[in-house]
């Protein structure tokens, strides 16, 4: 009985998150438009609220073309990998005390790191199997970006783990009862925000896609539903990464006592808005500049932060 | 020290630009809701092409083919014919608006100010064939943008019918050797 209930709730959450991810694309277009003094989609339905259905219908009925020069099997599975990984990221978020779908409490943060590293595989595989120079360029850029941000993503998480003395996300949230981690760890928060922008391939770190230079990079050969999977997985990963940040730095479900879920959702939405705001305002730097920025700036800062956190923890305990 | 100052300056410039983008939320929208709300177009906007007539109701076009030869997308086609007075006029005149790029070169080339571009861009149609405008669709019964200009007052062929030119300002004998206009 319990297993069945678990199964149903998990299934429900998967559907919900997918729909949310699809809606975020419209939400993002609307917010981008508002930030740029435009109106955004406002024709379909009431103020454009039905635009998502128009988009979904369009994407479903697009011709699903597999290029004859591609490596078929890898080409086929890489959007599935991308979709699954971004979905898994959501499962480690605790919605209220000790309630998360994937009950791997002791290694929650490590699981996140693992997924962040694994998500590069879908990009490499799709870039290689498409047999297209643009997608290959996109995946090369994605790899070079990954070896840059992965380091300081891990290190900046480490200082949080030192501070709360646990890999368990639930424990990390509870350790923020008196003060959110964002205040003592502000530099760390900035570094982690930059790294998480890179995890989701958002502007200004959308090197693997960069429409203007390499015309959509790794998923240039994809169409129809396969493209839709890449597309939605990006938005789901925005959601899950923002939820993760709000757990790590903003106290997750803590806040208003009786509405833990509402608290988490509110924080997540504000962070999603921040992601979109950053996309609207900062242009993309050249990709070697991103690498040097990551190695020469973010990496030392996160190391410094790690050492100082360790120092203070040693002194006070 | 300079390094630190640089970092701080760059950081604040990024935050400042994010802030200024955020402020845009409270600004007025720039979008013109087009079908409900019309835009104001200026008289020199290059839209739909018309053929104008002079004040007596004669075609201004002298079928010189200058517009057709200057047209970069080759979308004008016309055929010359002569009327009783020995003046030429276009027997047919077609513009393919599905190919026209509204560059306005035909208007520049035209010696008689016959062909003119209007600020009207709502030309869309369901069938491409309907976008080929015949002479009847193009012709309008006034002078368009250039009111007082009359080609025959400065140039043109001799009229056979002498009565015609009495009450008009058409010159009958144009001295083709004269340099001054
Ligand atoms: S506007 Fe340009 S393209 Fe159109 S008919 Fe005139 S010359 Fe040709
Ligand atoms: S250039 Fe003017 S006068 Fe000559 S054919 Fe074209 S419209 Fe007629």
> What are the pLDDT digits (tens) for A118-160?
888 888 888 888 888 888 888 888 888 888 888 888 888 888 8
Question: Poorest-confidence range of A53-62, B20-29, B114-123, B149-158?
Answer: B149-158
pLDDT at A136: 87
Contact flag A38-B31 (C-beta cutoff 8 Å)? yes
Mean pLDDT of B11-23: 89
Name the residue among B7, B24, B33 with its Cβ closest to that of A36.
B24
CB B114 less than 6 A from any atom of ligand 2? yes
Q: Is the ipTM of this complex over 0.85?
A: no
pLDDT at A77 over 60: yes
Lowest mean pLDDT among A78-82, A146-150, A178-182: A178-182
Q: Is the peptide bond before A93 cis (omega within 30 degrees of 0)?
A: no
The C-alpha atoms of residue B114 and residue B108 are separated, in whole angstroms, by 10
Q: Does pLDDT of A216 surpass 80?
A: no
- Work out the percent of chain B whose per-residue pLDDT is above 90: 14
The whole-angstrom separation of Cα B154 and Cα B169 is 10
User: Which among B17, B21, B29 has the least Cβ separation from residue A38?
Assistant: B29
pLDDT tens profile A96-117? 666 665 566 677 788 888 888 8
Ligand 2: nearest atom to the Cα of B65: 5
Select from B9, B10, B24, B30 the residue whose CB has the most chain A CBs within 10 Å, as the one to mutate to test that interface: B24
Q: What is the CA radius of gyration of chain B?
A: 26
**pLDDT, chain A, mean:** 83
User: So what's the pLDDT on residue B181?
Assistant: 60
Cβ-Cβ contacts under 8 Å, B29 against chain A: 37-39
DSSP labels, B31-99: ---TTTSPPP--TT---SEEE-B-TTS-B------HHHHH-TT--EEEEEEE-TTS-EEEEEEEEETTT
Task: Indicate the SS3 state at residue B116.
Answer: strand
Q: Which of A18-22, A46-50, A254-258 has the highest mean pLDDT?
A: A18-22
Looking at residue B159, its pLDDT comes to 63
B65 lines ligand 2 (CB under 6 A): yes
> For B81, phi and psi rounded to 5 degrees?
-150, 160
Q: How far is the CA of B69 from the centre of ligand 2 (A)?
A: 10
CB–CB contact A37 B28 (8 Å)? yes
Q: Is the pLDDT of residue A167 over 60?
A: yes
Q: Which residues share a beta bridge with B76? A: B95
Q: Is the CB of B115 under 6 A from ligand 2?
A: yes
The reply to whether ligand 2 has any atom less than 6 angstroms from the CB of B117 is no
**For residue B46, which ligand has an atom nearest its CA?**
1
Q: What is the pLDDT of residue B40?
A: 84
Does residue B4 sit at the A interface (CB-CB below 8 Å)? no
Count of A-B CB contacts under 8 Å: 34
Q: What is the pLDDT of residue B172?
A: 55
- The arithmetic mean of pLDDT across residues B4-23, rounded, is 88
| CA dist A24 → A35, A273, A284 (Å) | 16, 10, 22
Q: Residue A236's CB: how many other CB atoms inside 10 A?
A: 26
Number of CB atoms found within 10 A of residue A317's CB: 6
- Best mutation site among B46, B94, B105 for ligand 1 pocket (most ligand atoms within 8 Å of CB): B105
Question: Does the pLDDT value for residue B26 go beyond 90?
Answer: no
Average pLDDT, chain B: 83
User: What integer pLDDT is reported at residue B174 of this predicted model?
Assistant: 58
Q: Whose CA is nearest to atom 2 of ligand 2?
A: B110
Evaluate: CB of B116 within 6 angstroms of ligand 2.
no
Query: Using a 6 Å cutoff on CB, does residue B104 contact ligand 1?
Result: yes
Q: Is the pTM of this model over 0.80?
A: no
Long-range contact list for A61-66, CB < 8 A, 24+ apart? A62/A223, A62/A224, A62/A225, A62/A227, A63/A223, A63/A224, A64/A223, A64/A224, A64/A225, A64/A226, A65/A223, A65/A224
pLDDT surpasses 90 at B70: yes
- Helix orientation angle between A224-249 and A108-129, rounded to the nearest 10 degrees: 160
Q: Give the residue, by CA position, lying nearest to ligand 1 atom 4.
A: B100
Q: Is the CB of B138 under 6 A from ligand 1?
A: no
Q: What percent of chain B has pLDDT over 70?
A: 87
Ligand 1 atom at minimal distance to the Cα of residue B73: 3
Q: Work out the minimum CA distance from A186 to partner chain B, whole angstroms.
A: 14
């Amino acid at each position: 009985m319990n297993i069945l209930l678990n199964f149903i709730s998990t299934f429900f959450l998967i559907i919900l998150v997918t729909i949310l991810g699809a809606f975020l694309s419209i939400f993002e277009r609307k917010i981008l438009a508002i930030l740029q003094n435009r109106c955004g989609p406002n024709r379909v339905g009431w103020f454009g609220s039905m635009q998502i259905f128009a988009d979904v219908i369009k994407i479903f009925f697009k011709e699903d073309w597999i290029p004859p020069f591609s490596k078929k099997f890898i080409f086929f599975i890489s959007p599935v990998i991308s979709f699954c990984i971004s979905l898994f990221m959501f499962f480690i978020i605790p919605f209220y005390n000790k309630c998360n779908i994937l009950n791997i409490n002791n290694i929650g943060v490590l699981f996140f790191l693992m997924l962040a590293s694994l998500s590069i595989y879908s990009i490499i595989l799709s870039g290689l199997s498409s047999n297209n120079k643009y997608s290959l360029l996109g995946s090369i850029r994605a790899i070079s970006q990954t070896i840059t941000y992965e380091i300081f993503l891990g290190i900046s998480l480490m200082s949080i783990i030192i501070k709360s003395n646990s890999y368990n996300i639930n424990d990390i949230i509870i350790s923020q009862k008196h003060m959110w981690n964002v205040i003592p760890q502000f530099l760390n928060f900035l570094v982690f925000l930059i790294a998480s922008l890179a995890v989701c391939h958002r502007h200004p770190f959308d090197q693997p896609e960069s429409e203007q230079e390499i015309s959509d990079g790794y998923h240039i050969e994809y169409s129809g539903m396969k493209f839709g999977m890449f597309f939605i997985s990006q938005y789901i990963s925005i959601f899950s990464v923002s939820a993760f940040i709000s757990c790590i730095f903003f106290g997750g479900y803590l806040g208003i006592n009786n509405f833990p879920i509402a608290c988490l959702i509110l924080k997540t939405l504000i962070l999603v808005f921040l992601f979109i705001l950053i996309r609207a305002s900062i242009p993309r730097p050249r990709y070697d500049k991103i690498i040097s920025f990551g190695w020469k700036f973010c990496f030392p800062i996160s190391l410094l932060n790690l050492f100082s956190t360790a120092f203070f923890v040693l002194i006070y305990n | 020290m300079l390094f630190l100052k640089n970092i701080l300056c760059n950081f604040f410039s990024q935050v400042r630009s994010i802030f200024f983008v955020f402020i845009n939320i409270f600004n007025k929208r720039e979008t013109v809701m087009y079908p409900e709300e019309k835009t104001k177009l200026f008289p020199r906007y290059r839209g739909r092409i018309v053929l104008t007539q002079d004040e007596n109701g004669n075609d201004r076009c002298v079928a010189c083919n200058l517009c057709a030869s200057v047209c970069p997308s080759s979308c004008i086609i016309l055929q010359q014919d002569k009327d009783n007075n020995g003046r030429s006029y276009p027997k047919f005149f077609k513009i393919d608006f599905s190919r026209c790029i509204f560059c306005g070169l035909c208007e520049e080339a035209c010696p008689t100010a016959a062909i003119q571009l209007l600020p009207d861009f709502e030309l869309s149609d369901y069938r491409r064939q309907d976008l080929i405008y015949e002479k009847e669709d193009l012709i309008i019964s006034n002078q368009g943008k250039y009111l007082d200009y009359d080609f025959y007052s400065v140039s043109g062929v001799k009229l056979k019918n002498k009565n015609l030119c009495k009450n008009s300002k058409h010159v009958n004998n144009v001295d083709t050797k004269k340099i001054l206009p």
